[in-house]
Structure 1
Amino acid sequence: MTVPRVAVTVDLVVLTVREQRLCALTWRRDRPPFDGCWSLPGGFIQLDEDLPGAATRLMAERAGLADVRIHLEQLATYGYPDRDPRQRVVSVAYLGLAPDLPASSRAQVLWIAVDDLAQRDRAAFDHRRILFDGVERARAKLEYTSLAAAFCPQEFTVAELRRVYEIVWGTPLDPRNFHRKVTGADRFLIPTGRRTTRDGGRPAQLYARGDAEQLRPPMLRPRTCLPERTGTP
């Protein structure tokens, strides 16, 4: 009996906010299969590394983000038989989030707005599905965790935090209601005692991320920006 060979890859969904838009890091393929299509940065796992080690290596080698402080978590595993035309490949996807990540010096590595990628037809493999699974994970986690602060600098205003929620969720939020909720969430924000005028207008209080991992009470999305239920898994 012939034992089928199965390869394992790691693919990276790296998200940041650039020019007031939610953007994903993409890799333009220059060889078959899917020559010329956009894809997620990633690659095959090496025999002497574990999955987190492969994700960290590929973050440096393919994404060009070595030594960058970034939130990184495992997203999902994708293993249906026809996802790669070359051979049977199982992909473990990771989600990475950080504020204002730098542009890459490599011409084939580009930050592209998620909304623009939704309009592009030519995606490699199943990377469109993986990307939007990552985007939905980020949107959902903003409701119940302090993850939104991962898109902010070390010190930020409530208005800057609100813009993160608005950009990731894709909907405007009431400033006063938002301020009341985030400052009332247990150990979410810590006042630094400093103020800034970078938002314009009167000096605004600067905050740092607290030690809370779960938001109590949660920040629930407006119903207008919840994903539609299609009945498909």
Structure 2
Amino acid sequence: MGVSGKRRITSTIPSTSLRPPAVEIGARHQIEPLRQGELDLLCGILSPLNAIRLALHATAPLSRAGSKRLFEAGVRFLHGKSGGPEAVYAGMGTRRWHQIAKCMAERASGSSMTIEVERPTFDAVPTVEQVFAWIELSLAAGKPVLLRLAKGVDHFTVAAGITATRVFLFDSTGQSFLKQTSCRGSESFYRIPPKALARIAVSRRG
């Protein structure tokens, strides 16, 4: 988790024409996502933690101790809320998830930088294409995206890369990507609720 290295925010054309160009947070190739257990539903805590780790990796990589402190801050926040302990095995809603993300972002901020949770401002109910476009713009700006997968599965995760056909995940369950076609149409397996979208933004003070 504390591996040093420069974050690569790239929009590249691979050497083979068989692979579409990707927009991604390059740190996803340098560090591994923290994982949850088989019986807990801690993706609501691990997804913002993993997103913050990606966002900081280029300039201030989180150590194992730092990651543990952020995890503990998320757990304390959760246990301080009504129904918090039950969320460990029963899951949580989007509002609570956003609150945890903001708590962890504030905890990770320091004297030299501010970490914020940003939300999209769509003019109306966005199409799936507009959702994917917002994800791509966020990743191009070096901002990992927090997204909720609903319908066929209910899961909080992190988007770390995107091509014309796939969204690459930095995921606490080990899922590496999802196909964009799996999120389109009334018969799709996944749904990405636009109101659940958020991203992690890092800015320098002064």
In the superposition, the TM-score normalised over structure 1's length comes to: 0.24
Structure with the larger RCO, 1 or 2 (CA within 8 Å, 6+ apart): 2
More helix by share: 2
In the superposition, the TM-score normalised over structure 2's length comes to: 0.26
More strand by share: 1
Larger Rg computed on CA atoms: 1
